[in-house]
Every structure is written in structure tokens, then in C-alpha cells.
Amino acid sequence: MKLIANLFLSLLIVLGSACAEEADPAQAELNVEVDGRPIEIDREQSVVSYADVLDRATPAVVAVYTARIVSAPSGGLQPGVPELFRRFGLPTPQPEPDEGPVERRQRLGVGSGVVVSRDGYIVTNHHVVHDPRGGVVDEIRIRTRDNVEHEAELVGSDEKTDVAVLKIETEEALPAVILGDSDNLRVGDIVFAIGNPLEVGLTATQGIVSATGRDSLGILGRGGYENFIQTDAAINLGNSGGALIDAWGRLVGINTAIISRSGGSNGIGFAIPVNMVLNVATNLIERGEVPRGLLGLFPENLTPDLADAFGLETTRGALVNQVQEGSPADLAGIRHGDVILQIDDVRIQSAPQLRLLVSQMAPGSEVSVKLIRQGEELTLPVVLGSLNGEVASAESSESVLEGVTLRAITEEIREEFSLPDGIDGVFVAGVSGDSPHADDLSGNMVIMEVNGRSVETPEDLADALKPGVNRLYTWLGGVLRYEVIRIED
């Protein structure tokens, strides 16, 4: 089944993260209007049209156009022109003097966005404002419903939730959508997908909420945070970053992706819940990043066989496969084989839910982890670290490579992990599943060289890394090979 992750919207958040520090009042704020009431049925009045509902919401939905600025010679002839003239026996035209390169605009793509504040903040998808290789585009333009275009500034973007925030400057206040409470959504609620599908213009389609809490689709790739609303409202290419509206005209999600064999809508579309989007957008505006809590362990779902083997009556919870050395979980006494049942007051149903929940918590905060170990229930206090490297244990070096714990090789490490003599470098003690390097690096690996330079300590490795593409020579399980990782500027 082909996953088309090209329809994302841009209002993703980290569901309930109370940030580690209060924002500076002098910094920009996101002033949004929120209506958190659940939908109620008025049995005295039948609904024959949703035109008034859409009239309230559609003015806030915009088209998003992106472009790259490329250089081309100002003089010279097009390739193939001289040969064409010679073939027909005609004099070859002489090129004009080259006056240097001329910049021209090369269009990249089109998506949608939603105005969430009257002073010009717009949410959309991360992938809408980046090129196919993940690079930031050179130009972003917004077209409103009245066909007025504005140049937009990229305020911030979060790849792990596929949310981005744009800002445009206008003399007049913009029509902003009212935000609902996505936690109140129920399967069967009527919703509308509004955007610019296939660039035909502003379009609204109707459907229902088909499911909530879709967290294991793999749409956002490894390290992404998924908690999608599923809908059968038609979503097509160009709807990415557009609005999912409820029956009262409130924003409840940002349209992001579809599952389709043909590339068109098959009635299975996904949107980021507005609560998550609002959290992410607020952090991007006020802090320039999204702080995320870190436990430092690798959880997995319990299968019926695993639950039976551990003497559990249900598959509820998250089984701890591995604990990173020196991580908050390790320091708190969590061990592999533990089954995490609850974090504070939230009951854990699955490993993806645990990962998402912790990521939304403030780094440095203390949480209560309830778990079961060999049939005995325990409650352990844990001070969360930071996935961004702001709060880390004294022994770890997570700030060198995000989500990667590195160690200099000692005799103890060499003996414990049976590292051969002559294999020297930096030991990878663990790689978080949230790490952008999780596909390339793994625990018990030795990084011997970085960009052709031998390394022996995490500090050596940090000095050898450079922004962009990096070449690593590694050893793992007797196999030597090159790995390539990318470091953002």
C-alpha cells in the first residue's frame, strides 16, 4: 500500500507539553481564539446546509506556494542551438556578451495553510515549506481567498510533527479561524477538509471522523510523532497544511496525508490534531524549537504471547526492551523487562503512546512512572532529560549527536562488549528511537573515523562533524562499513 505523506498540514503539536521555562513576555506570542465545547445536537432544528459554517472557516484557509531561486547565464545560446543551425546550413548566431548570472524563480510546489491569529500567523506542514530533499525553500508566498498574494516568513518548522509556522505582514487584521478542542472529537463527528487540492482553488469536502489516535502508520518516518485523526473527507495533493473543520466551523486538525494506491483520495486521510499543532506552533514562535522530554529507553508493544510470558493478564502497557546507560530511566532504576503501566495520571496503552506522551512533557520535570517488574508493581520518580540536549545526565554526550549516547572506549567497555584489539574510536552506547540518526547508527557500534579523521572521544567526534553530509567509518559485529549522516546547520 502506497503511503502518500505529501498532504500534511502544519498545525502539529506535542500534546500537552508544559514548557520547561516560561516564555519571555517580550517575545512574540500566538494569540488564538479557542472554543473547547463538545459538539451538541439541537434536536429542534434539522441541518440542511453547512454553508454558514464554511463561511466562517474558509476565509482563514490560504494557498501556499514555494519556489527556489536559481542562477542562469545571462548570455550564450541554449544547448543544441548551434548544432541545429549548422545542420540546416545556416550561419550560426553569435551569443550576446555574458553579463553574469541572472536569478530566476523555479517553482517547487503548492500546498495549503490556515490563518490562526489575526496578526498574521499561519500554520502549515513542514513538508510544504521544504524541498524534496528536506532543504528550506528560498521563497514562500501566500494567496488568500480574495486572490491577494503576500510574501511569508518561515518562523519555525518541526519535522518530527510535520508542523510549520509562517508569518505575513498586512495593514489590516486577517480573518482567523477559531480553534476547537481535538480531545473532544468522537468517531462519527462530521468534519470538512478545506484546502487547495490539485491547485483547482479553495475547496471543501465533507466526511466524518473515522478514527482517532492513529500512532503507528509510519507516515512521518522513524523518529516522527504521530497521533492522527483519520477521516473519509476527501483529501488530495495540495491539501497538505489545510484545515479540518468541525460542524461548528472550528479548526480541529491540519490535513496531512492519505493512504492511496492511485495517488487520489480513497477515503482514508489523516490530520494532525489541533491541540498538538497549537503546542508545537506556540513553542516555535516563543522559543524557536520544540522542547521534548526524554526517558532514555526503548519500548515495544506487548503481544499476547509476551503478556503471557511475563504473567500479565492484558497487553496494556509498554515493555522496556533496553535502557540507555546514564539516561534518566537508568538513573531512576528502570530496567529492561519492566512493563510501564502509567506516567503520572495517564495510563499507558502502547509503546507509541508512551513515546508521544513523554515527548510532550517538559525536560527537567519529575514524573511518576508506575511499572510492573516480575509480578510486583513499583512506582519510581524520574527526572526527564531533554531530547534536544538541554537537560542531559552528567555521563552522557547527547548534545553531540541528537538522541545518541557516546562513550570513549575504556578497557571495561572493550571487555564487556568484546571489542577486538585494533578497533578504536567512539563507542555508541545507545540510540534513541526518536533520534534522527536511528536509521544509520545503532548501539554497540564503534565510530572509528569522521570525514576521514580518526576519533577517540565524543569531543573528537564533535570537532570532526560539519553541517550537512558527514561520512562515518564504523565497526559493528565484525563488519566495517561507511555510514552517512546529515547534521542540520
CB atoms within 10 A of CB 40: 7
Q: Is 74 noted as a catalytic residue in this protein? A: no
- Look at 36-40, 145-149, 194-198, 481-485 and tell me which has the smallest mean pLDDT: 36-40
What is the model's pLDDT at position 486? 87
**Among 386, 421, 446, which residue terminates a domain?**
386
| 411/261 Cα distance (integer angstroms) | 54
In the set 17, 112, 240, 350, the catalytic residue is 240
Q: How high is the pLDDT of residue 62? A: 96
> How many distinct structural domains can be found in the chain?
3
Q: For 325-337, what is the mean pLDDT?
A: 90
Claim to verify: residue 453 and residue 379 sit in the same structural domain:
no
Residue 22 maps to which CATH number? 2.40.10.120
- Lowest model confidence (mean pLDDT) among 126-140, 267-281, 393-407, 416-430: 393-407
The answer to whether 336 is a known catalytic residue is no
Q: What's the mean pLDDT in 193-197?
A: 93
Q: Per mean pLDDT, which range of 12-16, 178-182, 249-253, 423-427 is the poorest?
A: 12-16
The number of residues in the chain equals 489
Query: What pLDDT is recorded for position 396?
Result: 40
User: Which of 168-177, 428-437, 479-488 bottoms out in mean pLDDT, i.e. has the lowest?
Assistant: 428-437
Of 59, 11, 39, which is closest to residue 248 (Cα–Cα)? 39
Do 202 and 271 fall within a single domain? yes
Asked if residue 146 and residue 25 are part of one domain, the reply reads yes
Q: Are 271 and 126 members of one domain?
A: yes
- At 402-441, the pLDDT tens digits run 878 888 898 878 887 888 988 999 998 877 766 788 888 9
Three-state DSSP at 480 gives strand
Which residue has 510574501 as its cell numbers? 151
Are the beta carbons of 359 and 14 closer than 8 angstroms? yes
Start-to-end CA distance of the chain, whole Å, equals 35
Considering the candidates 158, 162, 189, 434, report the single residue annotated as catalytic: 162
The pLDDT score that the predictor gives to residue 3 is: 39
Of 235, 254, 288, which marks where a domain is finished?
288
* Residue 44 pLDDT: 62
pTM strictly above 0.85: no
Q: Quote the CA–CA distance of 163 and 161 in Å, as a whole number.
A: 5
Catalytic residue among 17, 112, 117, 127: 127
> 391 lies in a domain?
no
Is the confidence at residue 336, as pLDDT, over 80? Answer: yes
| 229 closest CA partner among 165, 183, 160, 179 | 183
Q: How far apart are CA 60 and CA 144, in angstroms?
A: 8
Instruction: Quote the pLDDT of residue 22.
Output: 44
CA dihedral 299, 302, 308, 311 (to 10 degrees): 50
Grid cell for residue 18: 508544559
Is residue 127 part of the annotated active site? The answer reads: yes
- Is position 145 within any domain? yes
Flag whether pLDDT at 100 surpasses 60. Answer: no
Output 478 or 41, whichever has higher pLDDT: 478
Lowest mean pLDDT among 62-71, 269-278, 297-306: 62-71
Amino acid of residue 385: G
* Closest to 430 in 3D by CA, of 294, 291, 297: 297
Could you tell me how far CA 208 lies from the centroid of its own chain?
25
Q: Is residue 148 in some structural domain?
A: yes
Kindly state whether residues 121 and 268 are assigned to the same domain.
Answer: yes
Which set of grid coordinates corresponds to residue 347? 495510563
**214-268 pLDDT, tens digit each:** 988 888 877 789 999 999 999 988 899 999 999 999 999 999 988 876 667 788 9
Task: Give the residue among 154, 165, 152 at the shortest CA–CA distance from 125.
Answer: 165
Domain that holds residue 420: 404-487
Among 244, 10, 201, smallest CA distance to 124 is for: 10
Which residue type is seen at 461?
A: L
Asked whether residue 394 is domain-assigned, the answer is no
Residue 365 or 417, more confident = 365
CATH number of the domain residue 353 falls in: 2.30.42.10
Residues 251, 133 within the same domain: yes
- Label residue 107 by pLDDT band (50, 70, 90): confident
